[in-house]
Structure 1
């Protein structure tokens, strides 16, 4: 049986505004988990360098993402909340993992293929090694679980591969130093330094799609601001975006089967269900046979009611950068204690000479 201390790690990049999909698919769940788990939540500002952001924008975005975390309900006293670059051991462990991971593993990453496009030779080394840093983010704290969406599962599988290869490559050293932990891997019980981190996959209702194209995920990087509801949007903007959301000419169906082949309708029903805490079936029973104009009005009212308190708190926090910085500073100090203890063991495992 896995005897690592159960710990959750997750984070978001400070690029673009966090939106409704981020809230329903991640933040809302993070808030719930902090009441029952040991949680570490990070603003992964080092990852943002892969797109060479303007330095001032990166500073501001880091604070804005932190404000969104706190406004959504993350409690910096219950959880550790910090920005990645504040804890130097992230990059130190990433280099060790760069020497563990194989180039073939990185080349197979779907995200690298998508972002590098056809001109791979012109892609940055950071973009290629991005998943190695992600593995370091997770394993630096020996996190046992990561809440992820289906599209991030490949990166977590790579993290598991890196952990397993490290444990195997240094098995004798780990054993001689007495720093290994017994854990179950399949039918076997093995000893290793890093856990084989498990995914916590969010349910299908949490997969929020674009308001302009129901076949694509709602994204911070979509060039159309109408494709998403940002957490910073005011009530008027939210209402306008929902009113303009793409739909079809048919009425709301009364049964789930009636949503097949209707991506935009399915998405809006899913958003209503997620915001109201209902199943899609209940939403269809309430609105079946009605036109989208009526449904969108109800959805806009619901979205404004749910998101306005978060928006107002975000704006209050953004206006107080000194407080945000104090939260990140305190979280960074607490994270650094865990990080240095684990990194010190890694240095000993791989053979680095230390005082």
Structure 2
């Protein structure tokens, strides 16, 4: 069985976009792949996080993973910081990477363009840690959104360089971009991705939002003055985004949902979208409440840590020997 790896950085509450773009796919992939899924908490602290809030975000993320259908018996689920091989391999890979590569990373360039000068070294070098997150498990595939594809590409570049320099060591992973729901945009600004770090909460549907909150947010979603429901991302980005959300919530194509809503006014259309979101999230929210009242979170992370360490430690030992860090091969 081929291996697939992915993770989410829970620097805030998980969103509908996180679920439609990643979590639901993880659940479906369990039947086809050996899944390795981690909570990228080390990446969270590349910018300051309130410790109390971060702990809650981490707990909620794991609980929502499980509530969404990830099965600890079929997937390895763990905290990134619990497997120290990630950080150790990250430093070794940093020593096999170049400043030019880091300077070309989109997130770094965006921050610099905006004049943000108080960036941490951890933020600058996060691509090498992300490469370690991937390469330490030798996955065949890494599911990512279109905007995250660059992270897999630099991991591939570093792996190929290391393999050529020291002899074959890492498997070269392939990015896998979902066809539906890969990128859900903000309700208040459809030019931007729906993000858990977005400052305007009204543009973000959180996985734990109450139905009344969801209805209010969808009702205030940005549309246009054309008055017709059509999938035209260029001229009607707000409506196109709502259609994408509706199709993704129902796990079907936009062509399949369009006949149902194309003759509705915008208010009626938004009600259909809100109903679809609520129908999708309510069972997950109910399961979440059950999970947080048990010891399933702690048990899942402990068992996941042991399974992940068993894989990662073998790879790190091999890497350490290849670069000459071990005096005696163990």
Q: Does 2:223 correspond to 1:227?
A: no
Report the CA distance shift for 1:277/1:119 in structure 2 as closer, same or farther (over 3 A). closer
What is the CA–CA distance in structure 2 between the aligned matches of 1:33 and 1:277, rounded to whole Å?
15
User: Of the two, which has the highest radius of gyration?
Assistant: 1
Q: Greater shift after overlay, 25-34 or 118-127?
A: 118-127
Equivalent of 1:262 in 236, 241, 259? 236
Equivalent of 2:156 in 133, 151, 160? 160
- Mark the runs of 5 or more structure 2 residues left unpaired by the alignment: none
Q: Does 2:312 correspond to 1:348?
A: no
CA contact (8 A) 1:234 1:311 kept: no
Q: Which residue of 1 aligns with 2:259?
A: 285
What is the CA–CA distance in structure 1 between the aligned matches of 2:114 and 2:3, rounded to whole Å?
39
| Counterpart secondary structure, 2:156 | helix
Alignment of 1:60-209 (within 5 A): 60-117=56-113, 119=115, 122-171=118-167, 192-203=168-179, 205-209=181-185
Equivalent of 1:244 in 197, 220, 231? 220
Displacement of 1:260: 4.2
What is the CA–CA distance in structure 1 between the aligned matches of 2:244 and 2:124, rounded to whole Å?
34
Q: Greater shift after overlay, 45-54 or 200-209?
A: 200-209
Alignment of 1:297-316 (within 5 A): 297-316=271-290
Q: State the TM-score, normalizing by the size of structure 1.
A: 0.88
* CA RMSD, Structure 1 to Structure 2 (Å): 1.7
Report the CA distance shift for 1:115/1:76 in structure 2 as closer, same or farther (over 3 A). farther
Displacement of 1:94: 0.4
CA contact (8 A) 2:191 2:237 kept: yes
Q: Does 2:312 correspond to 1:339?
A: yes
What is the CA–CA distance in structure 1 between the aligned matches of 2:212 and 2:114, rounded to whole Å?
41
Q: Which residue of 2 aligns with 1:210?
A: 186
CA contact (8 A) 1:209 1:217 kept: yes
What is the CA–CA distance in structure 2 between the aligned matches of 1:166 and 1:270, rounded to whole Å?
40
What is the CA–CA distance in structure 2 between the aligned matches of 1:347 and 1:291, rounded to whole Å?
63
Displacement of 1:310: 0.8
CA contact (8 A) 2:86 2:133 kept: yes
CA contact (8 A) 1:251 1:289 kept: no
| Counterpart secondary structure, 1:206 | coil
What is the CA–CA distance in structure 2 between the aligned matches of 1:140 and 1:216, rounded to whole Å?
32
Partner deviation per Cα, 1:312-352 (whole Å, 9 max, x = no partner): 222332344x3212211110011000011111111111111
Q: Does 2:7 correspond to 1:14?
A: no
- Mark the runs of 5 or more structure 1 residues left unpaired by the alignment: 172-191
Report the CA distance shift for 1:248/1:122 in structure 2 as closer, same or farther (over 3 A). closer
Q: Greater shift after overlay, 322-331 or 98-107?
A: 322-331
What is the CA–CA distance in structure 2 between the aligned matches of 1:115 and 1:268, rounded to whole Å?
29
CA contact (8 A) 1:251 1:290 kept: no
Q: State the TM-score, normalizing by the size of structure 2.
A: 0.95
Aligned length: 328
What is the CA–CA distance in structure 1 between the aligned matches of 2:114 and 2:253, rounded to whole Å?
42
What is the CA–CA distance in structure 1 between the aligned matches of 2:152 and 2:233, rounded to whole Å?
32
| Counterpart secondary structure, 2:125 | helix
